[in-house]
């Protein structure tokens, strides 16, 4: 049985630990002791469907947690590095990953073993060969003798992280030598007996694949949001119908064509920006990506204009926000459209009441008492002058509209995710406004 160490227990690292722990010997490491003590109780410190189920299953099979990398945790066949690579002043911040690699190098220089260090964190092209490898070399460590170094970007989505980890659509492995790549391929073939699609390449290509993948999806979203904005000016059009039909073209595909308030989360905004900055640094001006980013930022303004045009003034108005998470099935509000929209609405004088099935605690850390967070969607809607839906939670899809109409001071619905039926709502006497559904 292989021994695996996973350093950095965020969405990627923890999902991987929870899954691999059901198959093999795993130690998860995170420098945040508070998180470790929560995990040791079989609990997750963030909401992610099915994560605790796998966590408990793995812990029963011996999954262990540590709050620092030690020579013991490092005596593994594979050391997956899954620490965060945030953005700082529009550039990727590699401090976490450099610290981890330094620590690994220090420990490795005192023992005789040759683990495969697998970089799963999203890193700008060239990081593995030009930044990580030199750190290991500075400690006198030799590749293929003291360590192997591989890249293995992750494609899981928050909200379906466990599903995506258990059933990855592809596994990409970058490396500079066939033998260590094969070792990881064999490991994955044991973990995934159904034989997943495994693509082998070099480190820098694997790094670019990750950015290209996220940037392409972000491009699709900005594209459909542009079409939605066009529809907004063309009475009778419906962006959902357009997305449905173009999505039938297998060359386009039907996913990531839902118009909305723009993409958020901890990945797309950060990765598109990091790729733009990286491209500029190597002398290429990525006009398309600049436009993708700009279109996404403008989408917030489009949503605000929808509200302003219909309510005229926001001064003293009570607006209900349903959903603060950046998407459904997560309590993550990082870069969520709700953040800038709520800020703008309060600046314009509106009072905000909000509800999210899972993201209330995280919303409280950002907004404190500046907005009123309620325990149910109905409590949030009471006396509202307008309802703005921002996250497409299942629980929001079929409310009792009769009840809403009675509860609201002004029955107007701004459907930021196009989840309601406009015809039905208009028949019921609501003023309904969707995105690109004129």
Q: Which residues bind ligand UGA (CB under 6 A)?
A: 122, 154-158, 214, 217, 221, 256-258, 260, 263-265, 267-268, 326-327
- Cα 385 to chain centroid distance, Å, stands at 32
| 178 φ, ψ (degrees, to nearest 5) | -60, -40
H helix runs in 360-413, sequence order: 360-367, 377-381, 401-407
CA distance 331 to 158: 9
Nearer to ligand UGA (CB atom), residue 420 or residue 430: 420
| H/E stretch holding 354 | strand 351-355
421, with CB counted inside 10 A (0-12, 13-18, 19+), is middle
Q: How far is the CB of 112 from ligand UGA (least distance, A)?
A: 35
CA distance 188 to 184: 6
CA distance 147 to 117: 7
Nearest to 322 by CA among 232, 420, 410: 420
Nearer to ligand UGA (CB atom), residue 58 or residue 219: 219
Nearer to ligand UGA (CB atom), residue 250 or residue 429: 250
H helix runs in 146-177, sequence order: 161-166
Q: Please say if 267 is a catalytic residue.
A: yes
Q: How far is the CB of 119 from ligand UGA (least distance, A)?
A: 14
CA distance 78 to 2: 8
Nearest to 416 by CA among 336, 333, 357: 336
- Cα 349 to chain centroid distance, Å, stands at 31
Nearer to ligand UGA (CB atom), residue 293 or residue 327: 327
Q: How far is the CB of 371 from ligand UGA (least distance, A)?
A: 20
3-state secondary structure of 321: strand
Nearer to ligand UGA (CB atom), residue 276 or residue 408: 276
Nearer to ligand UGA (CB atom), residue 38 or residue 217: 217
Nearer to ligand UGA (CB atom), residue 59 or residue 224: 224
Q: How far is the CB of 158 from ligand UGA (least distance, A)?
A: 4
Spatial neighbors of 109 by CB under 8 A, at least 6 apart, are 139, 140, 141, 146
Cβ atoms within 10 Å of 107's Cβ, excluding its own: 18
| DSSP 8-state symbol, 395 | G
| 373 φ, ψ (degrees, to nearest 5) | -100, 125
Cβ atoms within 10 Å of 111's Cβ, excluding its own: 12
Spatial neighbors of 232 by CB under 8 A, at least 6 apart, are 302, 306, 435, 436, 438
Catalytic residues: 267
């Amino acid at each position: 049985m292989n021994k695996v160490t996973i350093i950095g227990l965020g969405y990627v690292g923890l999902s991987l630990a929870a899954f691999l722990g059901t198959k093999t010997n795993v130690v998860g490491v995170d420098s945040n002791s508070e998180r470790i003590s929560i995990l040791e109780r079989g609990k997750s410190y963030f909401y992610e469907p099915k994560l605790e189920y796998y966590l408990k299953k793995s812990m029963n099979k011996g999954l262990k947690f540590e709050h620092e990398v030690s020579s013991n945790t490092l005596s593994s066949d594979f050391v997956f590095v899954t620490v965060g690579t945030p953005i700082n002043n529009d550039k990727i911040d590699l401090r976490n990953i450099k610290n981890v690699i330094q620590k690994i190098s220090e420990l490795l220089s005192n023992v005789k073993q040759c683990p495969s260090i697998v970089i799963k964190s999203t890193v700008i092209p060239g990081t593995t060969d030009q930044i990580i490898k030199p750190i290991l070399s500075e400690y006198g460590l030799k590749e293929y003798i003291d360590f192997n170094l591989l890249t293995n970007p992750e494609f899981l989505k928050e909200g379906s992280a466990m599903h995506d980890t258990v059933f990855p659509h592809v596994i990409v492995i970058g490396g500079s030598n066939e033998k260590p790549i094969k070792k990881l391929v064999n490991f994955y073939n044991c973990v995934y007996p159904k034989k997943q699609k495994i693509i082998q390449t070099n480190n820098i290509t694997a790094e670019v694949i990750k950015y290209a993948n996220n940037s392409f999806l972000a491009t699709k979203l900005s594209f459909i949001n542009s079409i939605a904005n066009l529809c907004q000016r063309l009475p009778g059009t419906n962006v959902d119908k357009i997305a449905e039909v173009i999505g039938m073209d297998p060359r386009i595909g039907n996913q990531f064509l839902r118009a909305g308030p723009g993409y958020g989360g901890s990945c797309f905004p950060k990765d598109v920006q990091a790729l733009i900055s990286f491209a500029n640094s190597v002398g290429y001006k990525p006009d398309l990506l600049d436009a993708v980013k700009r279109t996404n930022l403008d989408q917030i303004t489009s949503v605000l204009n929808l509200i302003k045009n219909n309510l005229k003034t926001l001064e003293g108005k009570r607006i209900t926000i349903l959903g603060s998470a950046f998407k459904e099935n997560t309590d993550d509000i990082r870069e969520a459209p709700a953040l800038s929209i709520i800020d703008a609405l309060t600046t314009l004088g509106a009072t905000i009441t909000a509800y999210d099935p899972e993201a209330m605690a995280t919303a409280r850390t950002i907004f404190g008492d500046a907005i009123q967070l309620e325990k149910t969607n109905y409590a949030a809607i009471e006396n509202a002058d307008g309802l703005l839906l921002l996250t497409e939670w299942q629980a929001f899809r079929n409310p009792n509209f009769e009840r809403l109409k009675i509860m609201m001071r002004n029955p107007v619905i701004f459907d930021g995710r196009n989840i309601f039926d406009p015809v039905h709502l208009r028949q019921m006497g609501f003023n309904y406004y969707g995105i690109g559904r004129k």
